[in-house]
Chain A
Amino acid sequence: MAEQEGIRRENGGNGGLGAAGREGNHAGNVLLGYLKSAPVGVNISGLTKSFGQNRVLKGVDLGIEPGETVVILGKSGTGKSVLLRHIIGLERPDGGSILIGGEPVEYDAPGKGEHVVAMVFQSSALFNSLTVADNVGLYLKEHKVFKDDGKVRQIVSSALEIVGLSEKEDVMPSVLSGGMKRRVATARALVMNPDLLLFDEPTAGLDPMMTRTIGDLILDLKQKVEMTQIVVTHDIDLAFYVADRIAVLSEGRIIEFGPPEQIRDCAKHAVQEFITPQFGENRR
């Protein structure tokens, strides 16, 4: 399937949690020992949001099981990222509700909810005034998760090793490529020990090699840490590669939600209209 869709998973590939784990890498295991994710389910019902006259979300209903990787697929401008920003609490909906692990989202104070939710932003959102290591360790330092700075350094090194960037600890983000930034952002999200991890267009603007690395990373996280993950993308190949279930968002509504096979075989015009041009008839 993966091969069919253009992304082939390579077990010994550069980066990826699995790569570190399988090679018995000590640094990788430090983070694995630290990550104690309690995967949570997400329930979205009747979510609506307008920006001025523009109705972006028109009643989104979605139920995500704990430990599941769900990909939200849709054309640009259909409200995928807006939906993600609601889940993490950066946007307040006009109507409807979002429950994470049964608890309502804290809209006024994202990051203060009952469950830890981390997000890898499309722009990576790394702090240019901090080194890569300082970016990754920021959450641990600011919240004084460990009294010992050595432990923070160990976790940071381990997280960077997992994303295949251990040699970049002391460089500034400005000298990194787009894919490297995305991986640093993933490492930063991982050290938060999240119960729910959100990816906003993780492969946008990346070459096929880097897309594969990011795809591997998402899969490895699912397998090794059993973390609930929501991936927003318009990259069909990535979606079918990593998803347990795919939700297709169109015109502000989820028009189809199910396993990749169900989406591929869906007869709805809006689904096929989006999938077919990217997939290609010969791939179906």
Chain B
Amino acid sequence: MNGVMSFFRVTGGLVSLLMETLYWCKSVFKNTDKITDQLLVIGYQTLPVGALIALFSGGVLALQAGPTLAQFGIEENVGGLVGLSLVKEIGPVMAAILVAGRVGSAMAAELASMSVYEEIDALKTMDINPLRYLVMPRFIATVLALPVLVIYMDVIGWFGGAIVAAVNPDVHLSFTVYYRNLSELVDFTAFVNGLIKAAVFGVIISIVCCYVGLKTKGGPREIGTSVTKAVVLSFVLVLVFDYYVTRILLFLNID
């Protein structure tokens, strides 16, 4: 019974926080400095590790798929397979998991620490709305940064796939053939598909991590617990929503 109550309380809290944050988006142009700061943390500082992950993810896709396709004599389709997989599914999910682990955890830790050490209360007493001051900039920055990060990781992932397809003796596909096949199969709607998913994941990660952080009570021990809770909940919701968003996009023919 407690689990059920807790589920509804958390769900209600997340929806309520999302609605209030959307309301405070009216102040977006007055808070561009805070949003820029968050964009630097969420986007810019994630680029090196994002590149590394994308390069190897694209590479492993080509490594797995290439020899199998070669057995059937259709190895020239490696480019399309890697390209589509990254753009529609692996890119957005990979970027979301990276951002949740790297940025979401920091977000939850910072807000949890602010809650525990009365900084959120201090903001309230100064008539500064914590959602406007803390949550909205993180929300906007995550929703903007994640799709850009996905495009960046897609491009690097394709390159990783191209290298492996070229150097793997079982496939041995030239860059030209690889990228020609990729460009034939990856169209604009596939891109839009991935970007919509990325934006939805951005909403999930920012709202979940801010919610868990703001709800933290107790001491330093609870800050650690909140970070774990925020990251795990983000991962789970990203994967669950990935399924439903895919279903909706298929229904809307954005595939």
Contact = CB atoms under 8 A, between A and B. Distances in A.
A125 B128 CA distance: 14
Interface residues of A, number: 24
A125 B125 CA distance: 11
B217 to A, nearest CB: 11
B124 interface: yes
A192 interface: yes
Contact of B127 (A128, A129, A143): A143
Nearest to B120: A125
Interface string A57-92: 000000000000000000000000000010011100
A123 interface: yes
B126 A142 contact: yes
B128 A138 contact: yes
Place the interface of chain B in its size category. 10 to 19
B187 interface: no
Interface string B111-141: 0011001110110111110000100000000
A112 interface: yes
A34 interface: no
Contacts of B124: 90, 110-111
Contacts of A109: 127
A121 B122 contact: yes
A126 B124 CA distance: 13
A121 B121 CA distance: 9
Contact of A125 (B110, B119, B127, B133): B119
B132 to A, nearest CB: 9
B118 A118 contact: no
A230 interface: no
Contacts of A45: none
A77 to B, nearest CB: 16
Contacts of A274: none
A117 B118 CA distance: 16
Given A111-B124, A121-B122, A142-B133, 7 more contacts: A90-B125, A111-B128, A119-B122, A125-B118, A125-B122, A128-B113, A138-B128
14 contacts: A88-B125, A90-B121, A110-B125, A111-B128, A118-B125, A119-B122, A121-B121, A122-B118, A126-B119, A138-B128, A139-B126, A139-B127, A139-B128, A192-B126
Interface of B: 110, 113-114, 117-119, 121-122, 124-128, 133
Interface of A: 85, 88-90, 109-112, 117-119, 121-123, 125-129, 138-139, 142-143, 192
Nearest 7 pairs between A and B by C-beta? A111-B127, A125-B122, A125-B118, A121-B118, A139-B126, A123-B117, A125-B119
